[in-house]
Chains A and B, each alone.
Chain A
């Protein structure tokens, strides 16, 4: 506690509603590199000899390319922060979120967190051919709930999603709005320490959008720190106390929402 710390020259504003000032997420010179495989040609796919030779030589496909999605991002997030992340498509927002959640290993650098950050999203665990009923159970278990917790939350999820008797039918029969509502209802049923909300959450009709924004607000109040990716600058300015602008994998600006958003819209 008493150790000497580097002198602060340009003192940035301390996050407003961060009474404790305890860091919850530290991103330290983070680099994320994806390996992307081009689609195999028919010729390649069927040739077992080629496959064998590549295995023996421990080579990847020749068309394999690397995508450097996040290039040296560093910041500290504090307890009570609600941080908006903005940037163009492909600027590395979603990749950064996944790295904070500990779902993508860093190529270089590190992410340090207090507790387990979780991404608000359960879509990948659900199965279209199964009934809503089964999907609610599956989704909740996939998020790490116990069967007892699932039973407790089940009715609440059905109520919130508003799909009523459709819960007995396969999800493939749902309209896209109904599917989105059920997915949101499931994924927001759990409480989190550090919560990462990716865009495309505000789906469904107007009534449901209002409902889901209220739910996000609730989650934000109970969660220690919230990250929110959105293109809707109204949502960002309303809910966030700090905005990080990502551009081509690097932080272009980090600070007060009004300032950053103004700059973002200018350039």
Chain B
């Protein structure tokens, strides 16, 4: 019966001998409030929060354009305007499209696919620091935030893809290969989730990342062949391995896979380039997803501290 009182004494003595309190906690089976769960437990907790993740993503999408007059239409207009600018710049003025059949389709596919990865990564980098008040008030596996941000981008992409296909039909007749579009998007989404998880942890500890990210993204954009054919422009001037390295970068791989599906002539023409694009797509997807979750989970208990 003296146990409570003794326990209380332990509490009083805690300042001097911390060990007794830890022992007391152990005796009553109390756990550390902030212990990081094991990896598989963490993934299960995340799965239990799936409804929150999707609802949060949808809510962010709805509230994003709720103050503009054109509203949700901006989800379509933004990528279209971007594609238009790049088309005038690189297709008309700089003649970058020489030798590429159906250059507008080439460019549009590149823009839409690249934008998806770019936005996921950028959003992921802000997902922890932009939600510190939520992290400091509520319990949930923190990976829910970068995940929700990526799903938000996926929801936007599905809308953009619909518009894109509606445009492409004017240039390229649909084929059975179009059924592979979701496969590429699925792999790209796996990669994007992984990449945004990695960037979420990096962005949480290095606040300067947000300042630096636009430069990294622009370099990536130019290195991925969004508005030129890597095989034509690079392999003609530099050794083939340089072109291969560029093709092996995830953004270029997903773009090329999507172009192969959507553009019949490009499929034929690209035969001079590497034939392992699809392996690259799959490898990046699996690697990024597994590494991303693991890397993010390793710092789970530290988010919200800074």
Interface residues of A (CB under 8 A from B): 1, 5-6, 8-12, 14-15, 18, 21-29, 34-35, 37, 45, 48, 51-52, 54-55, 60-61, 72, 74-76, 78, 98-106, 109-114, 116-119, 121-125, 127-130, 134, 137-138, 141-144, 146-147, 170
Q: B301: nearest residue on chain A (CB-CB)?
A: A105
Say yes or no for B133: interface residue by CB 8 A criterion. yes
Taking a contact as CB atoms closer than 8 A, the residue among A51, A124, A142 that contacts B133 in the complex is: A124
Binary contact readout B9-46 vs A (1 if CB under 8 angstroms, 0 otherwise): 11111110010111011001111111000000000000
Q: A29-B14, A125-B138 are in contact. Are A14 and B4 (CB under 8 A)?
A: yes
Task: List 14 interface pairs A-B (beta carbons < 8 Å), by A numbering.
Answer: A12-B8, A26-B24, A28-B14, A28-B25, A75-B11, A75-B14, A76-B7, A76-B24, A101-B33, A103-B137, A111-B34, A112-B33, A142-B56, A144-B140
- Complex alpha-carbon distance, A72 and B231, angstroms: 64
**Chain A residues, Cβ within 8 Å of B302:** 105
Whether A110 contacts B4 by the Cβ 8 Å rule is: no
Q: Which residues of B contact A122 (CB under 8 A)?
A: 137-138
Distance to closest chain B CB from A220 (angstroms): 20
Kindly state the separation between the CA atoms of A76 and B27 in the bound complex, as whole angstroms.
Answer: 13
Which of the residues B25, B49, B63, B207 comes within 8 Å of A144, measured between beta carbons?
B49
Q: In the assembled complex, which residues on chain A have CB atoms less than 8 Å from the CB atom of B6?
A: 5-6, 8
- In the bound assembly, the distance between CA atoms of A111 and B11 in angstroms comes to 12
Assess the B21–A29 pair: CB atoms within 8 A: yes
Q: Is the interface on chain B under 10, 10 to 19, 20 to 34, or 35 or more residues?
A: 35 or more
Contact A116 B208 (CB under 8 A): no
> With contacts A76-B7, A103-B139, A129-B66 known, is A23 near B212, CB below 8 A?
no
Whether B30 pairs with A105 at a CB distance below 8 angstroms is no
What's the nearest-Cβ distance from chain B to residue A100, in Å?
7
Contacts of B34 in A (CB 8 A): 102-106, 111
* Contacting residues, chain A, for B12 (C-beta < 8 A): 10, 12
Complex CA–CA separation, A26 to B55 (angstroms): 35
> When the two chains form the complex, which single residue of A1, A11, A119 contacts B137, counting CB atoms closer than 8 Å?
A119
| Chain A residue nearest in CB terms to B207 | A37
Cross-chain contact of A101 among B9, B139, B215, B301 (Cβ < 8 A): B139
Q: Is B271 an interface residue (CB 8 A)?
A: no
Cβ contact within 8 Å between A138 and B304: no
Report the minimum CB–CB distance from A193 to chain B (whole Å).
12
